[in-house]
Structure 1
């Protein structure tokens, strides 16, 4: 292998052995990536092509969709994660409105850190507080901060509720996530629907998985992307960087997560039809409730 490829592969090996959530899988990855490099598989590629093929190879070994290589500071989540960028997209809350028949609707596209987004989330929940049912649209939500996931989940439970755990192999430690105090009225004892797509990922999947397994929400749409292992970006040589998952979600009810499987909806339907289906189902239930 040439010197550039060797330096990149060496750094990937180091990072995965040290940080990756599954040590045995990391060791397997090191062997396979180094073998590919020694066979010259990466030597003729320019850096842009190298990021694509490395990502493909790493994901094929780990089956982990969080793992990816890119040029440093491309236009993805890391650039979006600044207070100014968050402000420009209303901290991820694109729409909060009241639809016909007093049905609330929130289009929510990224779980920014609570320090930036909690106030906006609270405002959105206050706005829809008096509706008879609520739809949260996560079809364009790519994930984000687990504390913000817990914050938003907290509006749907009166009692303190265990939501999720994150186990970190490097520290051999588990962090628990429970519902927390949230400002404004709670949204309990009323129908809650979540819309998903094949794009719905990471923290947005956790939000859906938490509420599904606690029997608090009905999921309509497509099976989600399937990424349950959060982590962080690390610098590679030649102006590249790699995302290395360092922890894994463990749901307190299922003792499992959605990694590689996605969150399976109660009603599987094409994403662009999910809102129509949800509204139809909600309206039927509201009519039935009035007739009782």
Structure 2
């Protein structure tokens, strides 16, 4: 069942249909060779994920198998997030605002929550966005936040997208032009990134770097640049849930640059454990 779901999803969703056909044929050959016999659903899902990523070099491919109980346990282990995907925000010494942004969540509730955070940090001299553990999500969240950070609106046309079945590239950024709210146009922005910074979170960082709007500190991001769609399906008469994420689009900058497989490199490399302390030290030196 899992193999059939993956094959159908590749044919219906993957943006490169020539490659999709090859992947389907190879998965069928693996099945004929009995590569998945006597293998658990979880192990089979990992094998398929590893195969898809190795063949395409696309980190967004993700095939998983869970039980309902394991999902509940996994969720309970993570940090408590607000409606905006924020786990912490406060004002550091020297009046520096800090936002620990763990997940890119869009929607009216998320936007209202992010507005509240920005309102409370409006008087800060500079802002630190910590995306070192942000696995991505909905890119509209970045578009919403960006409107409060950029006076120059040309950032809105920086990213271009092309999805399955489309011949032409088109604007990727969702446009928000609120007339009310705090503005940080002239305040220095610093972003903490890591190898765990993924997908939509990477594009927030890429935009800031390409527009020379922020200093990026930490490590090179994951390089998962191709967005996609997910689906979850329960296996009949079992407690197993299959979750599939298949890339269905490509994104590049207007100059043709892609982060797929490359990520976004930091301006300042951080080592060790306490990256916030290192970032605060860097900001203090930069503002002297």
Which band: TM-score by shorter chain? 0.7 to 0.9
RMSD, aligned CA? 2.4
In the aligned structure 2, how far is the partner of 1:118 from the partner of 1:175? 22
| 1:234 lines up with 2:235 in the alignment | no
1:124: Cα distance to partner? 1.2
Alignment of 1:1-292 (within 5 A): 7-71=1-65, 89-91=81-83, 92-161=85-154, 162=156, 163-172=158-167, 174-177=170-173, 179-182=175-178, 183-234=180-231, 238=235, 239-252=241-254, 254-270=255-271, 272-287=273-288
The answer (yes or no) to whether the contact 2:217–2:279 under 8 Å persists in 1 is yes
Uncovered stretches (5+) of structure 1, i.e. residues with no partner: 1-6, 81-87, 288-292
Count of residues in correspondence between the two structures = 272
1:286: Cα distance to partner? 1.7
Going from structure 1 to structure 2, the CA distance change for 1:54 and 1:237 (only over 3 Å counts) comes to: farther
Q: Quick check: 158-167 or 89-98, which moved more? A: 158-167
Uncovered stretches (5+) of structure 2, i.e. residues with no partner: 236-240
Going from structure 1 to structure 2, the CA distance change for 1:280 and 1:255 (only over 3 Å counts) comes to: same
Superposed CA offset, 1:28-87 (max 9, x none): 2123222222111111212121111111111111211111111267677xx98xxxxxxx
In the aligned structure 1, how far is the partner of 2:33 from the partner of 2:120? 60
The answer (yes or no) to whether the contact 1:110–1:143 under 8 Å persists in 2 is yes
Going from structure 1 to structure 2, the CA distance change for 1:284 and 1:147 (only over 3 Å counts) comes to: same
The answer (yes or no) to whether the contact 1:135–1:195 under 8 Å persists in 2 is yes
The answer (yes or no) to whether the contact 1:19–1:246 under 8 Å persists in 2 is yes
In the aligned structure 1, how far is the partner of 2:115 from the partner of 2:108? 12
Q: Quick check: 88-97 or 106-115, which moved more? A: 88-97
The answer (yes or no) to whether the contact 1:196–1:222 under 8 Å persists in 2 is yes
Going from structure 1 to structure 2, the CA distance change for 1:131 and 1:143 (only over 3 Å counts) comes to: same
- TM-score after normalising by structure 2: 0.86
- TM-score after normalising by structure 1: 0.85
* Secondary structure, counterpart of 1:155 in structure 2: coil
Going from structure 1 to structure 2, the CA distance change for 1:271 and 1:116 (only over 3 Å counts) comes to: farther
The answer (yes or no) to whether the contact 2:229–2:247 under 8 Å persists in 1 is yes
1:168: Cα distance to partner? 0.8
In the aligned structure 1, how far is the partner of 2:263 from the partner of 2:200? 12
Going from structure 1 to structure 2, the CA distance change for 1:132 and 1:158 (only over 3 Å counts) comes to: same
Q: Which has the higher helix share?
A: 1
Q: Quick check: 124-133 or 197-206, which moved more? A: 124-133
